[in-house]
């Protein structure tokens, strides 16, 4: 194809996105569109499956049977969501195994929030309430993204996740109605997860290099700072309602912007964790790599068996 | 002594198996050999905990002293748990996990078939609901026994190890406690001794199909039904009970 | 040996009376496993009464580059639609 032709195709392509046409797997797309989508969708998928680990930790220790089944179902959903997302990425010509390799080698990133430890039962509440709350804000915006398989996966995920945040908030609510010890546990969890949750929306807009391109392709519908603001505004009243204090002395209602002003985020910490030096980066990767490596003989055996069965069937047919 | 002590004990005897196996499967969540398998194993764990809750809620009602399903699940001493030794065995590897499951599922399925006929309507209703779930568990674990047994050399040898190691815990499935005997007599309980021959026949058929050797050992372990467990049990309970023990008398 | 589980497409009938609809995909070593996985992955919330699975490589798809010749010729065949035909005003429904 000549440069001229490619330029033509690109213009048509961009015009389709502006018209809100969806892009489907076999459609022509610019290489950069493909690569950006593989990167973002696989990161998203990795976040789901690494995200299973901190909560998965607490399944065996859940304080009641009701909490245990809810948590199991939630962590399982995260596995399912990872699966939907890997499938969406696979339509772009990358295999799940390749994506796993990228994750295990450290080449691919995932949401940094999961590199923080889940230390108490209240952390299950904080994660559901804050981390899922933040994720939902991002994900709802993505239901209208331009790449069909990604948008469809997001619609399904958003539908299923509606119980996740409630599940977390209910845990916090119950703790806040409980003994002093339980209230302290809830406050402590909020203190540890508040700032990392704000960091989930990514760097500030003026330091986010991909924002313009991503907005154009509807991979992002709002900027990082807008989404972060939305999260703060929606969460502060929820905290107040259950008697918890947001750990930010600078937090203040701003009547002019009809939103909260909040204190500075520790971006050094953010970059430290992103670069692999958070409290649990190594443990999380080790858990994923172990599961994958220890499962290799199982996956191989299943393939070998399937092939044998196929051969037997063919022999019988003769 | 409780008015319906034998019935209470009988229910606990059934439910503890599902509780402990569900707990073991729950440990696996996020660590399975593939994402799909992980999700499937979690479903099984959820089924088991669902059954547990029905049984314990019923037991709590019978006890009639304000104890809750969680008190029963999490606040007994190790000696008071009466699950069979098989279900508490650790997740050594996926061959152990599937073998443990298969050996239990086959029993569980046959047991529930009979429990459906119980004169106790609550138990028979729980059995009728659970048997659909367990029928799927059995199908799932049977498929995996065949895949791993007749897969690669490596998987075959891992499976054979698992079968050889876990076989010793199978006989206990067919023991009757005093409470069991009383409940059989009352038309409420299942006489599991009558299931034994069919169980071994069916299990052997599948092992053979999976190209695995049926162990010939006649040495069996027992004790779970009397509350005498293997050394693995304490650690399992330490996690299961952690919150209830560390923060007693609170609502979650 | 290194052979990955192939990809399968999953179609689910949500209830009798409705068609099977594409729900997504998954990996499985064989058809039985694909069905079981589909049940566990895609019908956790009571979404289905029947499942089809087909290995993705067996699907033949039309090429979007041919959309012009494949689909556009149908656009102007208005006589296939009832609104193409005139009726006297007195007849409200036909």
The per-residue pLDDT for range A177-192, each reduced to its tens digit, is 999 999 999 999 999 9
Domain that holds residue C56: 7-85
Instruction: With beta carbons under 8 A apart, name residues in chain C contacting A300.
Output: 1-3
Average pLDDT, chain A: 95
Instruction: With beta carbons under 8 A apart, name residues in chain A contacting C14.
Output: none
Is residue B252 domain-resident? no
CB contact under 8 A, B251 and A56: no
Closest of A259, A246, A145, A149 to residue A193, by C-alpha: A246
Instruction: With beta carbons under 8 A apart, name residues in chain A contacting C35.
Output: none
Q: Looking at the predicted structure, is the pLDDT value of residue C1 above 70?
A: no
Q: Please report the pLDDT score of residue A122 as a whole number.
A: 98
Rounded CA-CA distance A54/B149 in Å is 33
Q: Which two tokens stand for residue B221?
A: 């372990």
Least confident of A231-235, B129-133, B216-220: B216-220
Residues 6+ apart with CB under 8 A from B102: B138, B141, B142, B144, B145, B203, B206
Classify strands C50-55 and A252-254 as parallel, antiparallel or unpaired.
unpaired
The pTM score is 0.95
Is residue C93 domain-resident? no
Q: Please report the pLDDT score of residue B1 as a whole number.
A: 57
Is residue B101 domain-resident? yes
Mutate to test the interface with C, among B25, B32, B34 (most CBs of C within 10 A): B34
Domain that holds residue B165: 5-246
Rounded CA-CA distance A269/A260 in Å is 23
Classify strands C20-27 and C7-13 as parallel, antiparallel or unpaired.
antiparallel
Q: What is the mean pLDDT of residues A209-218?
A: 85
Residues 6+ apart with CB under 8 A from A38: A89, A92, A93, A94
Q: Please report the pLDDT score of residue A213 as a whole number.
A: 87
Closest of B251, B85, B72, B237 to residue B165, by C-alpha: B85
Q: Is A49 on the interface with B (CB under 8 A)?
A: yes
| Percent of chain B scoring above 90 in pLDDT | 98
* Beta-carbon-side half-sphere exposure of residue B152 (alpha carbons within 13 Å): 16
Q: Is B39 on the interface with C (CB under 8 A)?
A: yes
Quickly state the pLDDT bin for C62 (edges 50, 70, 90): very high
Q: Do residues A92 and A148 lie in contact, with contact meaning Cβ atoms separated by under 8 Å?
A: no
Q: Looking at the predicted structure, is the pLDDT value of residue A176 above 60?
A: yes
Residues pairing with A23 in the sheet: A147
| Percent of chain A scoring above 70 in pLDDT | 100
CB contact under 8 A, C26 and B143: no
Instruction: With beta carbons under 8 A apart, name residues in chain B contacting C27.
Output: 34-36
Is residue B129 domain-resident? yes
Residues 6+ apart with CB under 8 A from A101: none
Q: What is the mean pLDDT of residues B50-79?
A: 97
* Beta-carbon-side half-sphere exposure of residue B104 (alpha carbons within 13 Å): 28
Q: Do residues A232 and A303 lie in contact, with contact meaning Cβ atoms separated by under 8 Å?
A: no
* Alpha-carbon distance A196 to nearest alpha carbon in chain C (angstroms): 30
* Alpha-carbon distance C61 to nearest alpha carbon in chain B (angstroms): 26
DSSP B152-199: -HHHHHHHHHHHHHHGGGSGGGG---HHHHHHHHTTSS--GGGGHHHH
Average pLDDT, chain C: 92
Is residue C66 domain-resident? yes
Q: Please report the pLDDT score of residue A43 as a whole number.
A: 96
Q: Looking at the predicted structure, is the pLDDT value of residue A2 above 90?
A: no
- The neighbours of chain B, by the rule of 3 or more Cβ pairs under 8 Å, are A, C
Quickly state the pLDDT bin for A3 (edges 50, 70, 90): confident
Mutate to test the interface with C, among A302, A305, A314 (most CBs of C within 10 A): A302
Which chain A residues have any C-beta within 8 angstroms of a chain C C-beta? 24, 26-28, 76-77, 80, 83-84, 87, 90, 95-97, 153, 156, 160, 299-300, 302-306, 309-310
Instruction: With beta carbons under 8 A apart, name residues in chain A contacting B251.
Output: 174, 177-178
Q: Please report the pLDDT score of residue A290 as a whole number.
A: 97
Rounded CA-CA distance C65/A28 in Å is 8
Rounded CA-CA distance A219/A204 in Å is 17
Which chain C residues have any C-beta within 8 angstroms of a chain A C-beta? 1-5, 7, 24-27, 29-30, 33, 41, 44-45, 61, 63-65
* Alpha-carbon distance B210 to nearest alpha carbon in chain A (angstroms): 10
Residues 6+ apart with CB under 8 A from A309: C30
Residues 6+ apart with CB under 8 A from A166: A128
- What is the number of structural domains in chain B? 1
Mutate to test the interface with B, among A69, A82, A301, A307 (most CBs of B within 10 A): A301
Q: What CATH number did the domain enclosing C61 receive?
A: 3.10.20.520
Quickly state the pLDDT bin for C92 (edges 50, 70, 90): confident
Average pLDDT, chain B: 97
Q: What is the mean pLDDT of residues A37-53?
A: 97
Q: Is B139 on the interface with C (CB under 8 A)?
A: yes
DSSP chain C: ---PPPEEEEEEE-STTS-EEEEEEEE-SSHHHHHHHHHHHH-TTS--SEEEEEEGGG-----GGGHHHHHGGGTT-GGGSGGGS---TT----
CB contact under 8 A, A294 and B23: no
Q: Please report the pLDDT score of residue A212 as a whole number.
A: 84
CB contact under 8 A, A80 and C33: no
Q: How many CB atoms lie within 10 A of CB A9?
A: 14
Q: Looking at the predicted structure, is the pLDDT value of residue A318 above 90?
A: no
Quickly state the pLDDT bin for A91 (edges 50, 70, 90): very high
- What is the number of structural domains in chain C? 1
Q: Please report the pLDDT score of residue A208 as a whole number.
A: 83
Is residue B169 domain-resident? yes
DSSP B75-97: SS-GGG----HHHHS---SHHHH
Instruction: With beta carbons under 8 A apart, name residues in chain C contacting A96.
Output: 4, 27
The answer to whether the Cα torsion of A297, A298, A303, A309 is positive or negative is positive
Q: Where does residue C31 rank: exposed (0-12), middle (13-18), buried (19+ CB within 10 A)? A: middle
CB contact under 8 A, B36 and C26: yes
Is residue C92 domain-resident? no
Q: What is the mean pLDDT of residues A209-220?
A: 85
At A26, is the secondary structure helix, strand, or coil?
Answer: coil
Crossing angle for the helix pair A224-241 and A180-199, nearest 10 degrees? Answer: 170
Q: Looking at the predicted structure, is the pLDDT value of residue B17 above 90?
A: yes
Q: What CATH number did the domain enclosing B224 receive?
A: 1.20.1260.10
Region of A106 please: left (phi>0), alpha (psi -120 to 50) or beta.
left
Which chain C residues have any C-beta within 8 angstroms of a chain B C-beta? 1, 5, 26-29, 32-33, 36-37, 40-41, 44
Residues B173-192 as b/e (b if ≥16 CB within 10 A, e otherwise) read: bbbbbebbebbbeeebbbeb
Question: Is residue A121 within a helix (H) or strand (E), and if so which, with residue range?
Answer: helix A121-126
Point out the residue among B35, B151, B243 whose CB comes nearest to the CB of A301: B151
Is residue C90 domain-resident? no
Quickly state the pLDDT bin for B219 (edges 50, 70, 90): very high
Is residue B114 domain-resident? yes
- The neighbours of chain A, by the rule of 3 or more Cβ pairs under 8 Å, are B, C
Q: Please report the pLDDT score of residue B13 as a whole number.
A: 97
Point out the residue among A80, A181, A295 whose CB comes nearest to the CB of B39: A80
Is residue C58 domain-resident? yes
CB contact under 8 A, C36 and B43: no
Point out the residue among C25, C29, C44 whose CB comes nearest to the CB of A306: C29
Is residue C76 domain-resident? yes
């Amino acid at each position: 194809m000549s440069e001229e032709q490619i330029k033509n195709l690109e213009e048509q392509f961009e015009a389709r996105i502006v018209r809100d046409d969806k892009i489907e797997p076999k459609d022509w797309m610019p290489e950069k569109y493909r690569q950006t989508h593989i990167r973002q969708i696989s990161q998203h998928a990795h976040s789901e499956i690494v995200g299973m680990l901190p909560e998965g930790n607490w399944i065996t220790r859940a304080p009641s049977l009701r909490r245990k089944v809810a948590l199991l179902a939630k962590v399982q959903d995260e596995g399912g969501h990872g699966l939907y997302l890997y499938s969406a990425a696979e339509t772009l010509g990358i295999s799940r195994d390749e994506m796993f390799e990228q994750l295990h080698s450290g080449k691919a990133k995932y949401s940094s929030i999961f590199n923080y430890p889940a230390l108490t039962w209240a952390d299950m509440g904080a994660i559901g309430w804050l981390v899922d709350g933040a994720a939902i804000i991002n994900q709802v915006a993505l239901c209208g993204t331009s790449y069909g398989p990604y948008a469809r996966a997001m619609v399904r995920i958003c539908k299923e996740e509606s119980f996740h945040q409630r599940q977390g908030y209910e845990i916090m609510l119950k703790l806040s109605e409980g003994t002093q010890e339980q209230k302290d546990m809830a406050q402590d969890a909020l203190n540890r997860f508040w700032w990392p949750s704000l960091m989930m929306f990514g760097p500030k807009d003026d330091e986010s290099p991909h924002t313009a391109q991503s907005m154009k392709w509807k991979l992002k519908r709002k900027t990082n700072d807008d989404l972060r603001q939305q999260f703060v505004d929606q969460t502060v009243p929820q905290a107040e309602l259950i008697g918890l204090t947001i750990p930010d002395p600078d937090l203040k209602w701003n009547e002019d912007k009809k939103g909260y002003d909040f204190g500075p985020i520790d971006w050094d910490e953010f970059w430290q964790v992103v670069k692999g030096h958070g409290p649990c980066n190594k443990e999380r990767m080790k858990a994923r790599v172990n599961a994958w490596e220890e499962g290799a003989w199982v996956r191989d055996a299943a393939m070998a068996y399937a092939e044998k069965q196929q051969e037997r069937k063919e022999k019988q047919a003769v | 002594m409780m008015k319906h002590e034998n019935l209470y004990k009988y229910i606990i005897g059934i439910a503890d198996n599902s509780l402990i196996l569900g707990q073991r499967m729950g440990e696996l969540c996020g660590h399975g050999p593939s994402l799909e398998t992980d999700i499937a194993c979690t479903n099984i764990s959820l089924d088991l905990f669902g059954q547990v809750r029905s049984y314990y809620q019923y037991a709590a009602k019978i006890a009639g002293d304000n104890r809750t399903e969680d008190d029963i699940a999490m606040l007994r001493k190790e000696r008071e748990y009466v699950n069979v030794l098989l279900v508490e065995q650790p997740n050594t590897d996926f061959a152990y996990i599937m073998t443990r499951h298969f050996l239990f599922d086959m029993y569980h399925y046959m047991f529930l078939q009979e429990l459906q006929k119980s004169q106790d309507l609550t138990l028979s209703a729980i059995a009728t609901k659970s048997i659909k779930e367990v029928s799927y568990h059995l199908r799932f674990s049977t498929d995996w026994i065949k895949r791993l047994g007749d897969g690669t050399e490596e998987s075959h040898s891992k499976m054979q190890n698992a079968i050889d190691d876990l076989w010793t815990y199978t006989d206990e499935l067919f023991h009757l406690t005093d409470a069991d005997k009383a409940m059989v007599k009352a038309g409420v309980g299942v006489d599991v001794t009558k299931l034994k021959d069919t169980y071994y026949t069916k299990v052997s058929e599948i092992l053979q199909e999976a190209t695995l050797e049926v162990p010939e050992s006649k040495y069996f372990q027992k004790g779970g039904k009397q509350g005498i467990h293997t050394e693995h049990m304490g650690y399992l309970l330490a996690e299961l009970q952690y919150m209830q023990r560390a923060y007693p008398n609170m609502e979650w | 040996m290194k052979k990955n589980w192939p990809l399968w497409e999953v179609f689910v009938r949500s209830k009798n009376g409705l068609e099977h609809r594409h729900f997504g995909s998954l990996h499985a070593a064989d058809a039985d496993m694909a069905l079981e996985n589909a049940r566990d992955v895609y019908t956790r919330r009571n979404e289905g009464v029947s499942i089809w699975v087909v290995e993705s490589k067996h699907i033949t798809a039309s090429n979007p580059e041919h959309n012009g010749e494949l689909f556009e010729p149908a656009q102007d065949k208005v006589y296939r639609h009832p609104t193409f035909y005139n009726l006297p005003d007195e007849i409200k429904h036909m």
